[in-house]
């Protein structure tokens, strides 16, 4: 959003940049970088694309299907983003902001990096498309250049060969109208960095690339693609028998479904819950159940959760006991954290929130903008909605679990009955209060559930 500055390069040393940014060997002429370039439409339904082979699905249908079901294809036109952008425009009615630099980079390039995404939402848009990603020649080392403004994108003019880059060293040239080139950048996490790190002023709002940079994965040389573009166990890239292709080793044929086509299983794979219980007596000689819960982030590449600060996770405990007559009772919690209003309908329950919470520095920013924006702030506080990332913000708290680390919390319940303790770890794509206010269908993903019977 407005003023968000991609600062990942500030965290990189000169030697790191030298190592990861490939020295351009392409030396493209200025006439080969055309602002009137017509982007390939990946969609198979594009009539012109079929006639001119101007789409990706003509040769790569399996890749196209993966991309189509992935969030990258929906980055501009999903209702969740459009509603968020609408809210941004309430605060800044005369400014386009910089959302398009990552959410619709093709439109951003076509409109000198500034475009009103309300005007593009009803037009055919490919979000972050195949053609766009495979046109990245190199990364601009300027840390203030964000999203596509920090990428060197090749857009050949009419009469020149269309150029695409990738990680295969010996690509088969499909026709005399296009040229495929090897680029070592595509084997590194840096190709993801410009849109997966970002700050608002001095506050790092988005930090996935930075998290990776400081993670065990980076220290071992494991790139983002190792988890998010895994081998497809196939030996061909082209699935059109009329097109010339070469059989490849399986490790050269990568998935373009960045959450492996099953986001639930992908998230679930990297987290775990462990519960320990014991009976004790407190200072008043009353029977107490102590519950220790360990949440493990076994992903050694970034924090859990990661990405937008709206994404959050909750650990919630449900403790139900039965007295001697068989009646269900709820024991008194005497120790341990409770969930705050950010947890929505789970607020007040025993548990813990894992999230990056943004707060506004002062009300001065709000007073400069629309009444709608001011009203939203008043409602947001009551509904448990943190500050929006384009406001003047600071990080009030960050309780997310770092890569390959764990969180331990302890709870105490006063009871001498037999009890069932249920612990759940739930991932959410946004704040429940925001979903309620905007009419979103909140995505809640139950990742782990553990039950212990204590007698």
* Residue of 123, 152, 125, 155 lying closest to 139 (CA atoms): 152
**CA 66 – CA 259 distance, rounded (Å):** 10
pLDDT at 45: 60
**CA 333 – CA 349 distance, rounded (Å):** 9
Read off the pLDDT of residues 342-359 as tens digits, 9 standing for 90 and up.
999 999 999 999 999 999
Q: Give the lowest-confidence range in 115-129, 152-166, 195-209, 385-399.
A: 115-129
Give the number of other Cβ atoms within 10 Å of residue 232's Cβ: 19
Query: What domains lie within the chain, and their CATH numbers?
Result: 4-261 (no CATH), 264-355+399-454 (2.60.40.10)
Q: Which residues contact 241 (CB under 8 A, 6 or more apart)?
A: none
pLDDT at 233: 87
Read off the pLDDT of residues 244-263 as tens digits, 9 standing for 90 and up.
788 899 899 999 999 888 89
Residues written for the chain: 455
4-5 β-sheet, strand order: 4-5, 198-200, 203-206
Contact indicator for 252, 235 with CB cutoff of 8 Å: no
Residue 412, pLDDT > 80, answer yes
Read off the pLDDT of residues 309-327 as tens digits, 9 standing for 90 and up.
999 999 999 999 998 888 9
Residue reference for tokens 């695409």? 164
* Burial (0-12, 13-18, 19+ Cβ within 10 Å), 325: exposed
Percent of the chain's residues with pLDDT above 70: 87
């Amino acid at each position: 959003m407005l003023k968000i500055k991609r600062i990942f390069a500030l965290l990189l040393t000169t030697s790191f940049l030298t190592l990861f940014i490939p020295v351009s060997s392409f030396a493209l002429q200025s006439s080969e970088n055309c602002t009137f370039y017509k982007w390939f439409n990946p969609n198979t339904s594009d009539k012109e694309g079929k006639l001119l082979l101007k789409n990706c699905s003509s040769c790569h249908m399996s890749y196209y299907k993966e991309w189509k079901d992935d969030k990258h294809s929906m980055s501009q036109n999903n209702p969740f983003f459009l509603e968020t952008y609408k809210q941004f425009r309430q605060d800044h009615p005369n400014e386009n902001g910089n959302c398009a630099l990552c959410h619709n980079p093709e439109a951003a390039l076509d409109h000198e990096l500034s475009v009103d995404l309300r005007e593009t939402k009803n037009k055919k848009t490919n979000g972050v498309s195949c053609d766009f990603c495979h046109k990245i020649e190199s990364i601009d080392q300027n840390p203030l250049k964000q999203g596509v403004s920090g990428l060197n994108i090749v857009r050949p003019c009419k009469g020149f060969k269309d150029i695409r880059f990738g990680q295969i060293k010996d690509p088969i040239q499909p026709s005399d109208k296009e040229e495929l080139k090897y680029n070592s950048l595509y084997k590194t996490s840096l190709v993801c960095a410009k849109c997966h790190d970002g700050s608002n002023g001095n506050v790092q709002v988005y930090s996935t690339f930075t998290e990776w940079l400081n993670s065990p994965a980076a220290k071992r040389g494991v790139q983002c693609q190792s988890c998010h573009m895994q081998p497809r166990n196939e030996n061909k890239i082209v699935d059109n028998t009329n097109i010339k292709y070469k059989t490849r080793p399986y490790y050269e044929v990568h998935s373009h479904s960045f959450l492996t086509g099953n986001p639930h299983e992908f998230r679930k794979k990297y987290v775990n819950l462990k519960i320990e219980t014991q009976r004790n007596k407190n200072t008043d000689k009353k029977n107490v159940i102590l519950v220790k819960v360990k949440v493990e982030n076994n992903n050694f590449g970034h924090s859990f959760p990661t990405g937008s600060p709206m994404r959050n996770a909750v650990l919630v405990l449900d403790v139900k006991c039965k007295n001697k007559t068989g009646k269900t009772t709820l024991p008194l919690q005497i120790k341990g954290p409770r969930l705050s209003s950010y947890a929505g309908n789970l607020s007040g329950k025993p548990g813990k929130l894992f999230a990056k919470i943004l707060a506004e520095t002062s009300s001065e920013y709000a007073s400069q903008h629309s009444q709608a924006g001011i009203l939203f702030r008043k409602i947001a506080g009551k509904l448990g909605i943190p500050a929006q990332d384009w406001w003047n913000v600071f990080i009030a708290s960050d309780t997310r679990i770092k890569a390959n680390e764990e969180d331990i919390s302890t709870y105490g319940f006063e009871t001498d009955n037999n009890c069932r303790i249920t612990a759940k770890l739930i991932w959410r794509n946004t704040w429940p209060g925001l979903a309620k206010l905007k009419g979103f269908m909140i995505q809640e993903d139950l990742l782990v559930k553990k039950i212990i019977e204590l007698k």
